[in-house]
Amino acid sequence: MIRYIAKRLLIMIPTMLAIIFIIFFIIHLMPNTPGRVILGISASEEQVIEKNKELGYYDPVPVQYVHYIINALKGDFGVSYQFGRPVFDILLPKFPITFRLAFLAILTSSILGILLGILSAEKKYSAADVAMTVLALFFASVPTFFLGIIMMLFFALRLGILPSSGSGNWTHMVMPVLSLALPSAAFISRITRSTMLDTIPEDYVMTARAKGCSPIRIIFAHELRNAMMPVVTEVGMNFAGLLGGSVIVENVFGLPGFGNIILNAINTKDGPVLMAAVVFLSFMFMIVMLVVDITYALLDPRVTARTVGGAK
Amino acid sequence: MTENGLVVDNLSVTLKTRDGDLMPVSCVSMEIPQGCIVGLVGESGCGKSMTARSVMGLLPYGGSISGGHIFLDGTDISAFTPKQMRSINGSRISMIFQEPMTSLNPVVRVGKQIEEVLLLHTDIPKEQRKEHVLEIMREVGIPEAERRYRAYPFELSGGLRQRVMIAMAMICKPELLIADEPTTALDVTIEAQILKLMESLRRSFNTSVLLITHNLGVVARICDTVNVMYMGQIVESCVKTALFENPQHPYTQGLLASLPRLDRSERLTNIKGTVPPLNAVPEGCRFADRCPLATGLCRTDPPYQETEPGHFVRCHHCSKKEA
Ligand SMILES: Nc1ncnc2c1ncn2[C@@H]1O[C@H](COP(=O)(O)OP(=O)(O)O)[C@@H](O)[C@H]1O
Ligand SMILES: [Mg+2]
């Protein structure tokens, strides 16, 4: 198990380097030069060129890339063009908001999605199953911002029971979390339903019945554990997506998180901030995928046996 | 009807399907006295598993007992609620299956899977359960029980997995073990070991066994009495020796003739034709279309009668021979 995790961590290094290279290259293609962004439209062409030289903008991209990596390893992700402060100091305080949002959303959607998925599978083709299919289709296809705005109209304006925007206490999180969680719960419940249905004709389920297991016990102790693998993948993908993709929801509800910063960096052509934010999100994505794979190994002993050769 | 053991009395099973109702088991009666091994043989598809599953209360979706009774030690369990069935499944009646490869939960340690039966049916405290599990594992001949307790099914061979299934089935010392083709998926040396194990468990636990097989060789090895099934009906029932020395139903004779034997050199024969589908059950004797003795009389239902003491046959011709 330890060897398995170590191996996976090692693989992350080249992947990360490749990701950084691609992002680096793309950001380099942005039309404005850094000097122009920092000094503004009033600066003369000479001043801009001078500034660009200072920033190493005219060095070959690979050289800049290597510099970036070396500095990044030291914890230096450059200085924001817009704020003139280290990127790291700008991003760090935003992280808790985004993380809390994504975490609460994935927790809600996993519980909701898995339970509803099980219910759908157990009562397949019943009215409840059909209703859940329709609802899932709705929530999977409605855009998040729309869901957010509708909820805002209803809970904040109409009923006045939840604050419409800002951050502070937990009530500010309810609507953002729900507007992220419902679509993802829709996907999770669909996957759970289909994998649960796959387990029903399995021989070991018959064995469990022959032992005298109750239906509830069969679901949770036998079927669910076998059905969890694709569900875990779905949950992981959704979580990784939420970490970076809550841009819209953060904007709708005025939460000063990562999404806001990224949007802002794009608008102001703030290369270093954008760069670091994307690198950070890719890193988080890889960590989440690693956790997913570790969960696989914990759920199914055959995974470690296959990848490491011998589970012991 | 008060004797110990299992009595199946005129049992019918109906299966609702999209193409109408089928009756995979019709009017089956048999007795499994305490401590006996009773064989149930027949070609695949003849309703052996359905019979077993109805005794366990584990019929597939759409299936139900549509007639008859099942008595366990005199109690009619065919009328039990699902909850009542669950309380005897695994403790008083247990079942093992054909495919040891897929019958165990692939993601749970085998020791835990055996232990679950104790959790469900006994109030042995948690700390003591493992000891019981190891004991039964040794009893069914699993070497290095301590290590195997922690193994996952994929780490064990087919024979060992079937022993795990048997351990699971026997841990509560049930009155009846239903073994549905327990050795069909195993090779012959392992088959011999498993049969020997069942034989010895029957003796040490005084458990009755309903042994389902399509293999008459298995019957010859360990059964006391045999029921031959054809298209959902019992066509012949007798003690083992009578079946091999004096088979009376043409179907049984056909099955025996298709069995290779060292002491006879005549050519092997097959029963001609194939089993008709369940939605096209022939009028009268169900075997008539494939039977060498068939006459016009066979278009009417043959009686099920005792041709010799303890030897029952469902055939017009056999009854005539006796008269
Ligand atoms: N779920 C099902 N739906 C419809 N027919 C079934 C189902 N299961 C079994 N059958 C039919 O019931 C009959 C008896 O099957 P089974 O008891 O499994 O036979 P055996 O165990 O003797 O091979 C067969 O003809 C089979 O096709
Ligand atoms: Mg069968």
Give, using CA atoms, the residue closest to atom 21 of ligand 1. B49
pLDDT tier, A258 (very low <50, low <70, confident <90, very high otherwise): confident
With the C-alpha atoms ordered A247, A250, A254, A256, is the resulting torsion angle positive or negative?
negative
Of B89, B105, B106, the CB nearest to A210: B89
Both B133 and B154 in one domain: the answer is yes
* B323, part of any domain: no
Domains contained in chain B, number = 2
**Which residues of chain B fall short of a pLDDT of 50?**
1-2, 320-323
Both B190 and B43 in one domain: the answer is yes
Q: What are phi and psi of B304, to 5 degrees?
A: -105, 105
Residue B92 C-alpha, separation from nearest chain A C-alpha, in angstroms:
10
Q: Which one, of B39, B30, B40, B35, lies nearest residue B7 by Cα?
A: B30
When pLDDT is averaged across residues A159-174 and rounded to a whole number, the result is 78
Q: How would you list the strands of the sheet with B225-230, edge to edge?
A: B93-96, B176-180, B208-213, B37-41, B225-230, B233-239, B311-314, B304-308
Q: Which domain holds residue B219?
A: 6-92+174-314
Of A23-32, A107-116, B19-28, give the lowest mean pLDDT range.
Answer: A23-32
pLDDT tier, A267 (very low <50, low <70, confident <90, very high otherwise): confident
Both B16 and B162 in one domain: the answer is no
Both B71 and B209 in one domain: the answer is yes
Both B267 and B179 in one domain: the answer is yes
Both B14 and B152 in one domain: the answer is no
Q: Where are the beta strands (DSSP E) in B136-284?
A: 176-180, 208-213, 225-230, 233-239
Break chain A into its structural domains and give their ranges: 2-92, 94-311
Residue pair A19/A287 in contact (Cβ under 8 Å)? The answer is no
**And the tokens for B256?**
């025996």
The ipTM, to two decimals, is 0.91
* B321, part of any domain: no
Query: Domain A94-311 - what CATH class?
Result: mainly alpha
Q: Which one, of B52, B33, B32, lies nearest residue B42 by Cα?
A: B52
- Tell me the angle at which helices A258-267 and A95-122 cross, rounded to the nearest 10 degrees: 120
**Nearest ligand 1 atom to alpha carbon B277:** 25
Which three-class secondary structure string do you get for B31-58? EEECCCEEEEECCCCCCHHHHHHHHHCC
Ligand 1 pocket check: which of B25, B41, B46 to mutate, most ligand atoms within 8 Å of Cβ? B46
d(CA A270, CA B130): 63
Both B182 and B286 in one domain: the answer is yes
Identify the domain boundary among B173, B200, B222. Answer: B173
Q: How far is CA B285 from CA A221, B8, B234, in A?
A: 47, 22, 12
B182: CATH? 3.40.50.300
Both B169 and B179 in one domain: the answer is no
Residues sharing a CB contact under 8 Å with residue A193, sequence separation 6 or more, in sequence order: A117, A118, A120, A121, A124, A129
**Nearest ligand 1 atom to alpha carbon B42:** 22
pLDDT higher than threshold 60 for residue A293: yes
Both B184 and B291 in one domain: the answer is yes
| pLDDT tens digits, one per residue of A50-82 | 888 877 778 888 888 888 888 888 888 888 888
Contact list, B165 vs chain A (CB under 8 Å) = 207
Share the mean pLDDT of chain A.
86
Of A117-131, A258-272, B84-98, give the lowest mean pLDDT range.
Answer: A258-272
What is the CA(B15)–ligand 1 centre distance, in A? Answer: 9
Identify the domain boundary among B126, B151, B173. Answer: B173
When pLDDT is averaged across residues A200-228 and rounded to a whole number, the result is 95
pLDDT score recorded for residue B76: 96
Q: How many helices (H) and strands (E) does chain A have?
A: 16, 0
Q: What are phi and psi of B103, to 5 degrees?
A: -80, -10
pLDDT higher than threshold 60 for residue A309: no
Residues, beta carbon < 5 Å, ion ligand 2: B 49
For an interface test with A, the pick among B86, B107, B164 (most A C-beta atoms closer than 10 Å) comes out as B107
Both B43 and B113 in one domain: the answer is no
Both B136 and B147 in one domain: the answer is yes
d(CA B142, CA A10): 41
Identify the domain boundary among B113, B144, B173. Answer: B173
**Inter-chain residue contact B106 with A211, CB threshold 8 Å:** no
**And the tokens for A106?**
């994935």
Residue B103 C-alpha, separation from nearest chain A C-alpha, in angstroms:
4
Residue pair B95/B177 in contact (Cβ under 8 Å)? The answer is yes
Residue B240, ligand 1, Cβ within 6 A: no
Residue pair A281/A243 in contact (Cβ under 8 Å)? The answer is yes
Give, using CA atoms, the residue closest to atom 24 of ligand 1. B45
3 state DSSP class of B273:
coil
Highest mean pLDDT among A1-15, A195-209, A290-304: A195-209
With the C-alpha atoms ordered A273, A275, A276, A278, is the resulting torsion angle positive or negative?
positive
Which has the higher per-residue pLDDT, A4 or A211? A211
Both B303 and B189 in one domain: the answer is yes
* B67, part of any domain: yes
Ligand 1 pocket check: which of B14, B16, B25, B50 to mutate, most ligand atoms within 8 Å of Cβ? B50
Supply the pTM of this predicted model.
0.85
Residues sharing a CB contact under 8 Å with residue B153, sequence separation 6 or more, in sequence order: B104, B105, B106, B110, B161, B164
**Inter-chain residue contact B94 with A210, CB threshold 8 Å:** yes
